[in-house]
Amino acid sequence: MGETRDHLGRPVVAVTGYGMISSLGQGVTDSWAGLIAGRSGIKPISRFPTQNMRTTIAGAIDYLWQDGDTAMDITMRAGILAAEEAIADANIGSPGDFPGPLFAAMPPAEMEWPYRKKIYRDAPAVGTDAYDRMIAAARKTNDDDAYHHTLLGFIAAGIAEKIGTRGAPISLTTACASGATAIQLGAEAIRRGDTDAAISIGADCSVNPEMMIRFALLSALSGTNEPPTEVSRPFSKDRDGFVIAEGAAALVLENYDVAKARGAKIHGIIRGIGEKADDFHRTRSKPDGSAIIGAIRTTIADAGIAPEEIDYINAHGTSTPENDKMESMSLEAVLGEAMKKTPISSNKSMIGHTLTAAGAIEATFSIKTIEEGVLPPTINYTPDPDIPFDVVPNAARNQQVATVLSNSFGFGGQNACLVITAEPA
């Protein structure tokens, strides 16, 4: 075992199991079927009142929600469902006993409105402003539930307990790059020889009033609303913001030789991983695109391939004016003339933007693209002369693919990319 190496002499990292929950359905099969059919999972929000809100639609997964839930509660449920599907698909370990560590991408931990309202209700009525009153009351409150819901590791600990991973679970958040970062950390652990298996999860179920208001204040969300299924328009001339959504994806990663020895099915190979930070602005990318360009180049170099070997690009493609133009500009800088014939599409046109889960969900869709020989479309597309690329407009396309670049770019300048390939012949 351990004889198969990549171009830098490292163990090859295989994907042997995947699981997903999205606005298109529960499970990889249903989500993929909806995706290649060009179906949208975006709908009006029904979980809470939206009167006077600029944005009233989302890709919410309402059947996971119960009255009084926080985003942490729903996110944990989604993460567990995705993890259980991935582990069953990989046929690894036994129930509640996964033979490796957990790397979990999740929303930032914070005290959410249900607990703020509860604490504020008991706060002193005089003497300080509202925030100080809440903090003063929180210091006097012995509420175990509120405490646990504000721990960074709350979600990862719950998932780890359910599926029985090894060691302390790793919790991480790198904004909208988080899902890809979780895969990167799992792959690096296997490459270093720390473990023969790992499970990487991205999960985010943050459709709540506070998150909607925050992104609206940043002018990041579309305010179009009608019709909901046509609002997310990546790379389109008339794009005006992203649509927030919920979801989760889990990937079982293994040392390729160990997986082959136990007879596991190989879905794909995590061949290249890379990241590069951008310190220009909290929400905007550096105008010259250098950080995104650097992340793409680092990933391609890590994979040991030439840019022209990329058969398809699973774009970050958020449907915001700036992101889509910056991503296309950066890809052209790296791929050059090859970009004119390399298809690129964004599944956010159908499932919305799943925030910290996006990188893991899109990696899973990238693997399915390789396995099925079908390129997911970019729906709701109107050509933009400033982005003159093949965006697989409006309908899926049959095309054999061996190498995919999957991009994930987050607020705060956190950029991570993956090169995913078919199993070596």
Per the annotation, the verdict on 205 as an active-site residue is no
Q: Is the dihedral of CA 129, 134, 136, 137 positive or negative?
A: positive
CA-CA distance, 393 to 344, in Å (whole number)?
A: 9
The 3-class secondary structure across 229-281, one letter per residue, is HHCCCCCCCCCCCECEECEEEEEEEEEHHHHHHCCCCCCEEEEEEEEEECCCC
Per the annotation, the verdict on 176 as an active-site residue is yes
CA-CA distance, 271 to 256, in Å (whole number)?
A: 11
CA-CA distance, 63 to 32, in Å (whole number)?
A: 19
Give Cβ neighbours of residue 196 (< 8 Å, ≥ 6 apart): 99, 100, 190, 254, 255, 258
Smallest Cα–Cα separation from 25: which of 10, 41, 36, 45?
Answer: 41
Catalytic pick among 149, 205, 267, 316: 316
Residue written as token pair 């079927």 = 33
- SS3 state of residue 414: strand
Q: Is the dihedral of CA 245, 250, 253, 259 positive or negative?
A: negative
Catalytic pick among 149, 176, 267, 417: 176
CA-CA distance, 196 to 101, in Å (whole number)?
A: 10
- Which residues are part of the catalytic machinery? 176, 316, 353
